[in-house]
Structure 1
Amino acid sequence: MERVIIDTDPGIDDAMAIFLAASAPDRISIEALITVNGNTDIDNATQNAFTILTICEREDIPVYKGRSKPLKREVRMCESSHGDDGLGNVKVNKGKIVLQKETAEEYMVRAARENKGILTLMPIGPLTNIAGAVLRDENFAKNIKRIVLMGGAEHCGNMSPTAEFNFWHDPEAAKIVFEAGFEEIIMVGLDVTRKAFMTPAMRELLYQINTPISRFIHQITRIYVDSYWNKLKNLGCELCDVLVSAFLIDESVLKIKEAFVEIETDGICCGTSVVYSVDIWTGKKKNCYVAYDLDVKTFFGLFFEKQFPAFKETAEALIEHEYRV
């Protein structure tokens, strides 16, 4: 059982990651959601956290509000694939969960101190809050079991040729986290998330499954799919953050390697995660693991089976058809 704090900027794929994590209580205990500015502003992100937890009937999970902007920069706006509100501009009944009084950083520092070596951090947005906790408490990194994050890229970015959004949005925060001395960091970057591509047929199956969660995912991914078509002429959409939940449920979905990662905070490569595989760069000492391959069929099988078990066989047949060699 992994006791997890989810640090999120919901975000369409954030919502799907939270749904998947919540569907596996035998593997993941969600201790709290903390929100951060990223895919949308902090107020939208926090309201979206309430909405997501309400839809999956997990109003028992506390929500803590995090930072409204990067550590050392003003918010850098970029063309959003998530709609004006972060959840595809879909009209839903907004959740009314009561926001916790502590800030995200105050909560994380306290929870880590009270549960030394037990808690896993699951950041699926910019790393601003976690860097803030590191700066707040010199023992914070030592008190955390591990971090499994979505961010970075070894070979190709999405905000520049080399930089991925979460690290690009707050590169100083990412740098602090990777240099803080956490016991274990697992970086799930664009090199593998690009392989987690939901096809139109899979999206249609979500519609036909017809549960509140499946229909909500179908709705919010409309703007996501349009964005991928307009930018890349690809039919479907990438499920970036969802891979972190999947890995925490079943680590066999990803192949990982030892690496030294450093974050560039200036110049034309600002936000880039420079990955040194330590089997090649033998002079570098490992500070994390980097995911480099994805078992696509296992991932999507897990995605459907955990959330919609009655449709397991239908989903397996569709996945086999969509990803046949």
Structure 2
Amino acid sequence: GQPVPLEVPLTTTPETHGEFGLGYINPGPQHISQHLNQQHSPSNWQDLWRDAMSQHADLRLIVTGPATNLATFGPTPRTTLMGGTYLYPGNTTPTAEWNTWVDPHAAKTAFAQATEPITVCSLGVTERLTLNPDSLQLLIDALSDAPIASYLPEMLRFYFEFHESQGEGYLAQIHDLLTVMIALGKAPFTTREVTVDVEADSELMRGTTVADMRGHWGREPNALLVDDADVTAAHAELLRAARNDSKGQ
């Protein structure tokens, strides 16, 4: 996909997820080289998306990072977006969540061009799904001999330590996983139809997301804002899926 945000410089967070995004795990130069060689050109990835959607009428698009590719590609049906914060403190600035702050122009464009409401999993919902050493051990036990199980402790330890340094406890917030479960209907949730806009150009309020919940703007709704999710059910689904994976299913 696109290598940088639409208009602002790229910002990354090795202090949060480690140098390679895998905590204390170093994938090594060979794996990094293979990954770089497999990346598609900007025109190619759009062809891949277009072909996939034409071949699979029920395909769902799940965006768990900045909305750059979504904004570039154009309106996409059945989209679930992880991002923003609504009536809730931000995790990057007082009012902004990370994904939206990284590319605010993309987030603004994605909502403006939407032809059907985007399902939005915002920070106040996604950060409720957490792992700690005890629940991580349950996950490892469920995975049994699956290869990923041996990597999880060092991947998650970095993230545990980051949250502890922020005063949030020795835990990891698993935003992406809850978003995927909501997109696939694997955990119960409720939504509210709203109209969303994003502040893109203000330095102080960059990335701030606003939801018109009462129709003051007079615009058509462009989002289904997830306002609650069953985190207990999400944990149960994670262990169920891990047990199936360990059996090769």
TMscore range, shorter length: 0.7 to 0.9
The reply to whether residue 107 of structure 1 matches residue 40 of structure 2 is no
> How far apart, in 2, do the equivalents of 1:231 and 1:294 lie?
24
Task: Specify whether residues 266 and 234 from structure 1 end up closer, same or farther in structure 2 by C-alpha distance, changes over 3 A only.
Answer: same
Equivalent residue number for residue 60 of structure 2:
120
Task: Specify whether residues 196 and 116 from structure 1 end up closer, same or farther in structure 2 by C-alpha distance, changes over 3 A only.
Answer: closer
Instruction: State whether residues 152 and 273 of structure 1, in contact with CA within 8 Å, keep that contact through their aligned partners in structure 2.
Output: yes
Moved more, 71-80 or 221-230: 71-80
The reply to whether residue 288 of structure 1 matches residue 223 of structure 2 is yes
One-letter code aligned to 2:149: S
Write out per-residue CA displacement over residues 287-313 of structure 1, whole angstroms, 9 at most, x where no aligned residue.
1101111211101000110122499xx
Instruction: State whether residues 147 and 185 of structure 1, in contact with CA within 8 Å, keep that contact through their aligned partners in structure 2.
Output: yes
- Of residues 137, 147, 159, the one that matches 2:92 is 159
Moved more, 197-206 or 93-102: 93-102
One-letter code aligned to 2:79: I
The reply to whether residue 200 of structure 1 matches residue 141 of structure 2 is no
Instruction: State whether residues 71 and 170 of structure 1, in contact with CA within 8 Å, keep that contact through their aligned partners in structure 2.
Output: yes
> Per the alignment, in what secondary structure is the counterpart of residue 293 of structure 1?
strand
> Per the alignment, in what secondary structure is the counterpart of residue 232 of structure 1?
coil
> How far apart, in 2, do the equivalents of 1:187 and 1:193 lie?
10
Write out per-residue CA displacement over residues 78-101 of structure 1, whole angstroms, 9 at most, x where no aligned residue.
563100111113145738577265
One-letter code aligned to 1:80: E
> Per the alignment, in what secondary structure is the counterpart of residue 81 of structure 1?
helix
Write out per-residue CA displacement over residues 21-67 of structure 1, whole angstroms, 9 at most, x where no aligned residue.
xxxxxxxxxxxxxxxxxxxxxxxxxxxxxxxxxxxxxxxxxxxxx12
Instruction: State whether residues 88 and 223 of structure 1, in contact with CA within 8 Å, keep that contact through their aligned partners in structure 2.
Output: yes
Instruction: State whether residues 152 and 272 of structure 1, in contact with CA within 8 Å, keep that contact through their aligned partners in structure 2.
Output: yes
The reply to whether residue 148 of structure 1 matches residue 80 of structure 2 is yes
1:199: Cα distance to partner?
A: 2.6
One-letter code aligned to 1:146: R
> How far apart, in 2, do the equivalents of 1:70 and 1:310 lie?
35
> How far apart, in 2, do the equivalents of 1:214 and 1:149 lie?
28
* Structure 2: tracts of 5 or more residues without a match: none
Instruction: State whether residues 256 and 289 of structure 1, in contact with CA within 8 Å, keep that contact through their aligned partners in structure 2.
Output: yes
1:251: Cα distance to partner?
A: 5.3
- Within 5 A, what are the aligned runs for 1:123-134? 123-134=63-74
> Per the alignment, in what secondary structure is the counterpart of residue 17 of structure 2?
coil
> Per the alignment, in what secondary structure is the counterpart of residue 274 of structure 1?
strand
Instruction: State whether residues 84 and 123 of structure 2, in contact with CA within 8 Å, keep that contact through their aligned partners in structure 1.
Output: yes
Equivalent residue number for residue 216 of structure 1:
151
1:217: Cα distance to partner?
A: 2.6
How many residue pairs get aligned? The number is 236
> How far apart, in 1, do the equivalents of 2:150 and 2:119 lie?
31
Instruction: State whether residues 163 and 271 of structure 1, in contact with CA within 8 Å, keep that contact through their aligned partners in structure 2.
Output: yes
Moved more, 297-306 or 116-125: 116-125
> Per the alignment, in what secondary structure is the counterpart of residue 256 of structure 1?
strand
> How far apart, in 2, do the equivalents of 1:116 and 1:202 lie?
36
- Within 5 A, what are the aligned runs for 1:166-181? 166-181=99-114
Instruction: State whether residues 109 and 133 of structure 1, in contact with CA within 8 Å, keep that contact through their aligned partners in structure 2.
Output: no
> How far apart, in 2, do the equivalents of 1:160 and 1:79 lie?
18
> Per the alignment, in what secondary structure is the counterpart of residue 221 of structure 1?
helix
> How far apart, in 2, do the equivalents of 1:197 and 1:101 lie?
33
1:219: Cα distance to partner?
A: 2.4
Equivalent residue number for residue 266 of structure 1:
201
Q: TM-score, normalised by structure 1?
A: 0.65
One-letter code aligned to 2:213: S
Higher relative contact order (CA 8 A, sep 6+): 2
Instruction: State whether residues 117 and 145 of structure 1, in contact with CA within 8 Å, keep that contact through their aligned partners in structure 2.
Output: no
* Structure 1: tracts of 5 or more residues without a match: 1-65, 135-140, 312-325
Task: Specify whether residues 111 and 162 from structure 1 end up closer, same or farther in structure 2 by C-alpha distance, changes over 3 A only.
Answer: same
Write out per-residue CA displacement over residues 219-239 of structure 1, whole angstroms, 9 at most, x where no aligned residue.
211100000001124121110
